[in-house]
Amino acid sequence: MGIAIVTGASRGIGRACALELGRAGYEVWANYRSSSADAESLKAEIEAAGGACRLLQFDVGDTEAVAAALGDLSDSPPEVLVNNAGITRDGLFLTMQPEDWFSVIQTNLGAFFNVTQPVLKAMSRAKRGRIVTLASVSGQGGNKGQSNYAASKAGLIAATKSIAKEYGRWNILANVVSPGFIATDMTAELPEKELAKAIPLRRFGGPEEVAKVVRFLASEDASYVTGAVINVNGGLYM
């Protein structure tokens, strides 16, 4: 099997995706920004299971850093890209600082451009590829205190649907996985018991429950799925 790039793979959902794709036989190129020890332990875990993993440290929002780290991928076109890295900087819109708006838009949505463009170039030459991007229930319904985050995630959905239309004929499939509340560092401070009352399945999801859907979208079984938004949210409606 070929190469699968996962951004934000050191922790949470990205880590679960990297492990799942490693188990599926891909050579995992695992990106992270700052959690070096977590990234090293991910690499060790994939290798201990007989897989291969290469660590790539860069900030997905930094256009030049991404270009320098990925370089020209034409000799090693990735088969799969998982755009997962993301941050929140929550606050009500009227008091939101410019830094909180722009850092979220750049890290979540700017990164889509930075990472997807060089990968897509190589995929289009190879005439095959799967791109899976993590959005959020906030990007579908909006969420109080998350105008920046919701806007970035809605943008990712629209960008993915556009890419799906542009490159379907080159056998490149692009889809979105849209999680609800998933138990990771990002949601560690949230009152799960309280919030779970509004979730039909009455609990937060696990990162591996998202990763299995990502693995499905990367697999041959999803060969006629593109431009789709797959909810992994326990039935949560926002």
Residues near ligand NAP (CB under 6 A): 7-14, 31-35, 59-61, 84-87, 107, 134, 136, 179, 181-182, 184-187
Beta carbon of residue 30, minimum distance to ligand NAP (angstroms, whole number): 9
Residue closer to ligand NAP (CB basis): 118 or 126: 118
Is-contact 119 132, C-beta < 8 A?
A: no
Residue closer to ligand NAP (CB basis): 14 or 51: 14
Active site residues: 149
Query: Using CA atoms, how far apart are residues 85 and 15, in angstroms rounded to an integer?
Result: 10
Residue closer to ligand NAP (CB basis): 41 or 223: 41
CB atoms within 10 A of CB 128: 14
Residue closer to ligand NAP (CB basis): 60 or 126: 60
Beta carbon of residue 139, minimum distance to ligand NAP (angstroms, whole number): 8
Distances, alpha carbon 135 to alpha carbons 55, 68, 95, 132, 139, in Å? 23, 26, 24, 10, 7
Beta carbon of residue 78, minimum distance to ligand NAP (angstroms, whole number): 17
Is-contact 203 182, C-beta < 8 A?
A: no
Cross-strand partners of 149 = none
Query: Using CA atoms, how far apart are residues 90 and 104, in angstroms rounded to an integer?
Result: 9
Beta carbon of residue 35, minimum distance to ligand NAP (angstroms, whole number): 3
Query: Smallest Cα–Cα separation from 139: which of 83, 55, 188, 213?
Result: 83
Is-contact 230 177, C-beta < 8 A?
A: yes
Query: What amino acid is encoded at 137 in this protein?
Result: V
